[in-house]
Amino acid sequence: MTISSGNNILVMQSGGCTPVINRSLYGVVQEAFASKAFERIYGAMYGMEGILDEKLADLRAVDSDEWERIANTPAAALGSTRRKLRTEDVPVIIDVLKRNGIGYWFIIGGNDSAETGHMVGEAAKEAGYPLTVINVPKTIDNDLVLMDHSPGYGSAARFIALATMGAGRDAEAMGLAAPVTIIEVMGRDAGWLAASAAAAKQEERDAPHIIGLPEVPMDETRFLDRIEQAYTKYGFAVAVMAENTRGSDGIIGGDSEPWYVDDFGHAYFDGPGRYLAGQVSKRLKVRARYEKPGTIQRSMMACVSESDASEAEEAGREAIRRATAGESGIIITLERAPGPEYSCNTGTAPLAEVGGKVKTMPPEYLDTANDFVTESFLEYLRPLLGSPLPAYGRVR
């Protein structure tokens, strides 16, 4: 069992926000309150920056009614960060932890945050400072390894499915005026979020007609041919593309040089949506719309999946339970129980095996012949979306 140097808690949120990241924060804090094993519960304002500047909020000072509102609030209530831990940060961090009697550090974040958690734990060991470190998973990208799915994905996927349904009906209704729409969604290295658009398709003519994923190289000519085929057959066409959909020469429509590289070395390029919309307009001589939801897809609380919210909170609560049981150096996982009815349990994985790694979509979920996904993927996805999607009507 890990012997901590103090019984105070530090919680931080890290990386891109999700619609349910605050449900995990709520779970951590409420379970810590209930356990009565901890004295002070601090929140690091803006993650790593807040720790380095010793900007720590007293979370016990927040009243219970406010916590109920925070649980259902978008973005990160503590403020988030994309700052990578640096060697020179370690003595500063250890000093902050010592001064505040912090023996437990909970990081709510994705694969980069798992890497940070592992580095923090190892640095504390080397410094001779007993520290329990546990990560709570979150990412709309659904790319955390060693777990069935990630908190945040189900809600963002629900948004994408609903947005695709709406955009499809709009393109169909506009006819000759604006019959083609290309939606570009988040997903730097994996196509899980773009793939969720497939849930919008309830009959053959429905959007989307093409899904572009980082896992499957996209041939530009074939893409244009497929758009033209759908337009000719249905009178409209909709494609959903992951932001880093690749062609033979790299990111489609992107320059060879990224316009930004973050602290973790992730490169950001101009995505394929605007470029492909221009190519479609030139080919078909019609208006092709280009939609890029951006941060809306991770902050639209009206689209939160009930199962996603519940699982995000449970992951936070389980982190506290594991800490009081003496575990450290782990990330909480979500594990789908076998059987026809959907059920999800929590487990754990070592931070060292999760940090910096990416879970891409497996071949059995990819319909490469049709630039789409398989029924196996849809069976995986549907329980994560929460309540059934609406069934829209159509004048025949």
SS3 call for 20: coil
SS3 call for 308: helix
d(CA 81, CA 44): 10
d(CA 122, CA 133): 10
For the annotated catalytic residues, the residue numbers are 141
The answer to whether the CB of 200 falls within 8 A of the CB of 161 is yes
The answer to whether the CB of 290 falls within 8 A of the CB of 273 is yes
d(CA 73, CA 385): 19
d(CA 214, CA 242): 7
SS3 call for 180: strand
Query: Which token pair is 11?
Result: 């919680």
d(CA 380, CA 384): 8
